[in-house]
Amino acid sequence: MLTKKEIFKTQANFIKQAAELIEERAKAIEKIEKEAKYNIEFESEKKAAIGIFKVRSIRLCRDTLLYIANEVIRDDPKIGFFLLPHARTILDVYARFIHLLENCSDEDKQALVCIAYQLLLPKYIDSEIEYQKTFNLYKKFFKQTNSNFPTDLASYSKTWVKNNNLNFADMRSLLTTNNIKKYSLNVNSVFGVEETYRIYSGFSEFLHGNPYYYNESPHNERFWVVSICLSMTAFLIELIDLHTLHKRNPRDFRVWLEEVKKNKADFIKLWRSNVIPPP
């Protein structure tokens, strides 16, 4: 019988493997963009906007997964509490990928949403230089699509983005059971779609900055961190394979998912044995 430490080490290894898988997707997207030839410059700018967003989002997930994999095996009863917000990053990224498919009618709209999000960074750091630098990357695309992005930092804001319907929708409206199933193929037969998101989302909101919960005995945060990392990354990889790379059930992902499935029973059994009974 496996020990608790051994079970968590196995799950941490799966998380590291997921990081490797998702990095391969980033490389594949980069390769496609580098090899693509566009006769019209605004088309190149559009593709670049979408590609930059996807690759940087994927690599944010990759580094988040690697950090969590190294930390989640630590023998620290409070570690799960502090890892939960990092696990939520995976949900954020996955939700944005769904938004591009579900709420954008074409690649023009996808690119505009990605650019609007990209331009918020210089707004946050209050840098006119960075705003102009980013804005100038897409001037021909703006002209082609008759987009009225502000030409100066002072006129740009989250309110402008929202008023022009270029904001990412709320995560709760994106990560619905129907949406997750819609953009999945095999993962939803391994992980419970509705239960995974509903419980974690509410739990995470309750935990955020809650000093009363923090002073109680740790519950099952470490289990939730592992569960979210594996399930949501699996859904994200499958979405990328199907709708960006146009690959159906590639071998590397199929083998990884099967191994995760084989070891799921031991993890769930340990999780259930760790549940604190009600008073």
What would the pLDDT profile of 178-230 be if each residue is shown by its tens digit?
A: 899 899 988 887 887 665 566 666 666 666 677 777 776 656 889 889 999 99
Picking from 67, 75, 18, the residue whose alpha carbon sits closest to that of residue 255 is 18
Q: Rounded to the nearest 5°, which phi and psi values hold at 99?
A: -55, -45
Lowest-pLDDT range of 139-148, 206-215, 263-272: 206-215
- Report yes or no: 226 and 191 within 8 Å, Cβ to Cβ: no
In a domain, 145, yes or no: no
**pLDDT exceeds 90 at position 158:** yes
In a domain, 40, yes or no: yes
How many Cβ atoms from other residues are within 10 Å of residue 105's Cβ? 7
Spatial separation of the C-alpha atoms in residues 41 and 198, rounded to whole Å: 44
In a domain, 264, yes or no: yes
**Over the chain, what is the mean pLDDT?**
90
**pLDDT exceeds 90 at position 176:** no
What's the confidence (pLDDT) of residue 191? 81
- Cα–Cα distances (Å) from 106 to 46, 55, 207, in that order, read 11, 19, 38
Spatial separation of the C-alpha atoms in residues 8 and 259, rounded to whole Å: 14
Spatial separation of the C-alpha atoms in residues 63 and 238, rounded to whole Å: 19
What's the confidence (pLDDT) of residue 276? 52
Estimate to the nearest angstrom the gap between the alpha carbon of 273 and the chain centroid: 30
Spatial separation of the C-alpha atoms in residues 212 and 88, rounded to whole Å: 21
Number of domains in the chain: 1
The range of the structural domain enclosing residue 29 comes to 4-103+169-274
- Report yes or no: 133 and 142 within 8 Å, Cβ to Cβ: no
Q: Residue 29 has which token pair?
A: 């997207």
- The pLDDT of 16-29, averaged and rounded, is 98
- The pLDDT of 158-162, averaged and rounded, is 97
- The pLDDT of 46-62, averaged and rounded, is 97
**pLDDT exceeds 70 at position 277:** no
- The pLDDT of 4-28, averaged and rounded, is 97
In a domain, 98, yes or no: yes
**pLDDT exceeds 60 at position 34:** yes
Spatial separation of the C-alpha atoms in residues 222 and 270, rounded to whole Å: 12
- The pLDDT of 40-48, averaged and rounded, is 91
- Report yes or no: 190 and 254 within 8 Å, Cβ to Cβ: no
In a domain, 122, yes or no: no
What's the confidence (pLDDT) of residue 39? 78
In a domain, 164, yes or no: no
In a domain, 80, yes or no: yes
What's the confidence (pLDDT) of residue 278? 43
In a domain, 266, yes or no: yes
**pLDDT tens readout for residues 85-122:** 899 899 999 999 999 999 999 999 999 999 999 999 99
Taking the alpha carbons of 158, 159, 160, 162 in that order, is the dihedral positive or negative? Answer: positive
- Report yes or no: 204 and 132 within 8 Å, Cβ to Cβ: no
Picking from 224, 234, 238, 237, the residue whose alpha carbon sits closest to that of residue 196 is 224
- Report yes or no: 62 and 23 within 8 Å, Cβ to Cβ: yes
What's the confidence (pLDDT) of residue 279? 38
Q: Residue 58 has which token pair?
A: 């994927």
Spatial separation of the C-alpha atoms in residues 192 and 172, rounded to whole Å: 17
